[in-house]
Amino acid sequence: MIAKRKSRLKRLLSLNQHRKRWGATKHAAAVPEFEGLRERIIDAGEVRQTHGSEKSIDLHLENLRREFSGQSELLWHHAKLIVMIRREFRTPETFAQFRALWEAEQEFLCAKLNIRWLVSAADTFAEHHEDKHVRAVAMMTSLLANTVKMQESERFVRNTGHAQPDETRIALLQTELVPLFEGMSVFTVGTDDTLRNMYWRLEPFFAVAPAGAILKAVWDRFQIEDTVFARMRALHRRDRTGWWN
């Protein structure tokens, strides 16, 4: 059974929620000059990715600063806005700043943010943007990324990361349909046009700013990182059915 999300009223009355945004005012200064932030590099020592979140927003944002050590301060600013939106601190105003950042720095953010923060940005647009088309494209990004995350997580927990392709099974797929469930069948490794056709259908959505650019960036990264897409790409041999740029 899926737990219901707390209502807005319950969140408003939640002491825990108030504690999580206590002190956020000092982090919501006047809108900064993006170029200056983009050029400044954070020096916070050894990079350490956050795991979970602190109740104190000051401590949580400081932990995030270490995550972006050696990178542009603009990326930390982007993360701070997401944190404040998720903690429901002046949500309309903070989301307006978030939108303004993406309108001004879309190319830089798509190039420099890692997949984690690209998906966080997509989740933010999916939840708060007033345009349903932007929300839909952002949700496509989140769905794609979390599906890959689940597949790769199962690969980890089953310890199958070092498994090698079975050439006899690959050969079998060239001549036989191998059922999965509910009418679905195994991807014909090496020749299948399923992903190419899906890419063709995705292409028009890349133009839906700003969520489309995030979708494109995440898709492209999945073709080169150690994902099922990249591993299938390595086995593909029919040029006209390729699904990567």
- Longest C-alpha distance within the chain, in Å? 65
104 inside domain:
yes
Residue 189 has a pLDDT of 98
Among the three residues 113, 134, 161, which one is the final residue of a domain in this structure?
113
Which tens digits make up the pLDDT trace of 155-182?
999 999 999 999 999 999 999 999 999 9
Residues 120 and 233 in one domain: yes
**Least confidently predicted of 48-52, 123-127, 221-225:** 48-52
Tally of domains in the chain: 2
46 inside domain:
yes
pLDDT of 109 higher than 90: yes
Please give the residue range of the domain that contains residue 62: 9-113
pLDDT of 24 higher than 80: no
Residues 127 and 229 in one domain: yes
What confidence tier does 57 reach under pLDDT thresholds 50, 70, 90? confident
Which tens digits make up the pLDDT trace of 60-72?
898 899 999 999 9
Which tens digits make up the pLDDT trace of 205-233?
999 999 999 999 999 999 999 999 999 99
CB environment 196-226: b (16+ within 10 A), e (fewer): eeeeeebeebbebebbbbbbbbbbebbbeee
Residue 4 has a pLDDT of 63
Among the three residues 95, 113, 131, which one is the final residue of a domain in this structure?
113
Q: Which residue has the higher pLDDT, 103 or 8?
A: 103
Q: Which residue has the higher pLDDT, 87 or 4?
A: 87
166 inside domain:
yes
238 inside domain:
yes
Residues 242 and 145 in one domain: yes
Write down the residue that tokens 């997580």 correspond to.
153
What confidence tier does 99 reach under pLDDT thresholds 50, 70, 90? very high
The letter for the amino acid at 36 is G
Among the three residues 113, 129, 147, which one is the final residue of a domain in this structure?
113
138 inside domain:
yes
Residues 109 and 199 in one domain: no
pLDDT above 70 coverage of the chain, percent: 85
Q: Is the pTM of this model over 0.85?
A: yes
pLDDT of 185 higher than 90: yes
Residue 12 has a pLDDT of 59
